[in-house]
Structure 1
Amino acid sequence: MTVKAILEAKGHDVFTLGPNEKLAEAVRILADHRIGALVVTNGDQRIVGILSERDIVRVLAKEGVGALEQTVRAVMTPKVNICNEHHTVNEVMEIMTRGRFRHLPVEKNGRLDGIVSIGDVVKRRIEDVEREAEEIRAYIATA
């Protein structure tokens, strides 16, 4: 199973914002859409960073509510791990586990093409395991 299959099922929509937006706007978007991360892009959909709930919690703990007036650029993680549609579910799980993060932007031709979350990956993996178990049961029943 690949990232392409995940995106075909869930879609390519990603919530993004620019690096010069205020952190308060990022918090509003995260809360309104009940999501855990925003991909930070420039005008042509090139990925310049990622902003997660963890990034926000860290800066709030350190600087208080005044941090909400900072720009996203000041708080985001600028070095973003990415994947492409050809990565397998197992490869994505390894990247996420090694990096200890839950969201992985998908890039195609140098531009943002989607995002996969740990929830997407776990859901797909469970579906694969259930399908494999059903195939084994069917094989045993016909043997």
Structure 2
Amino acid sequence: MSVASILADKGRDIVTATGDETVADICRVLTEHRIGAILITGSDGRIDGILSERDIVKACAAHGPDALKSKAAELMTRDVITVTPDDAIGTVMERMTSGRFRHMPVLKDGAVIGVISIGDVVKHRIAQAEREAEEMRSYIATA
């Protein structure tokens, strides 16, 4: 199974912000869309970084409420690891686990076509395991 199968199930909605937006504004967007991270993009639409709930919590712990006045560009992770639709689910899980992050943009021909989370990956793997178990039960019942 590949990343494309996850996107086919969850959709390809992409929420972005600019690096000039405040962290408080980003928090409102994250809450409104019920997401855990947001892509920070430049005027050309390319990814400049990603800002996650974890990044915001770390900044608040270090700087208190003033962290919410910071610009997204000040707190975002700049070195964004991405995947392609053809990448295997196992590869994605390995990258997320070793990198200790939970969100990955999906790129095709250099353009963002979606974002997947570890929750999406786990949900997909569970559904796959349940399908396989049902197929085994059906096979055994007909044998």
- Which range, TM-score by smaller chain? over 0.9
Aligned to 2:87, the other structure's residue is in SS state coil
Aligned to 2:107, the other structure's residue is in SS state strand
Hey, what does 1:79 align to over in structure 2? 79
Aligned to 2:40, the other structure's residue is in SS state strand
8 Å CA contact 1:52–1:76 kept in 2: the answer is yes
Aligned to 1:64, the other structure's residue is in SS state helix
Hey, what does 2:99 align to over in structure 1? 99
Hey, what does 2:46 align to over in structure 1? 46
Unpaired segments of 5 or more residues in structure 1?
A: none
**Distance (Å, rounded) in 2 between the aligned partners of 1:142 and 1:118:** 36
**Distance (Å, rounded) in 1 between the aligned partners of 2:114 and 2:27:** 20
For residue 115 of structure 1, report the CA deviation from its aligned partner: 0.5
AA aligned to 1:17 is A
Any idea what the Cα deviations from partners look like across 1:80-127, whole Å, max 9, x if unmatched? 111010011111111111111111111111121100111111111011
**Distance (Å, rounded) in 1 between the aligned partners of 2:49 and 2:131:** 36
For residue 43 of structure 1, report the CA deviation from its aligned partner: 2.1
**Distance (Å, rounded) in 2 between the aligned partners of 1:29 and 1:56:** 13
1:128 aligns with 2:115: no
Unpaired segments of 5 or more residues in structure 2?
A: none
**Equivalence map 1:3-42=2 (5 Å):** 3-42=3-42
Aligned to 1:113, the other structure's residue is in SS state strand
For residue 142 of structure 1, report the CA deviation from its aligned partner: 2.2
**Distance (Å, rounded) in 2 between the aligned partners of 1:60 and 1:126:** 34
In terms of mean alpha carbon deviation, does 51-60 or 131-140 score higher?
Answer: 131-140
**Distance (Å, rounded) in 1 between the aligned partners of 2:18 and 2:109:** 20
Give the total of aligned pairs: 143
TM-score normalised per structure 1: 0.95
- Pairwise CA RMSD: 1.1
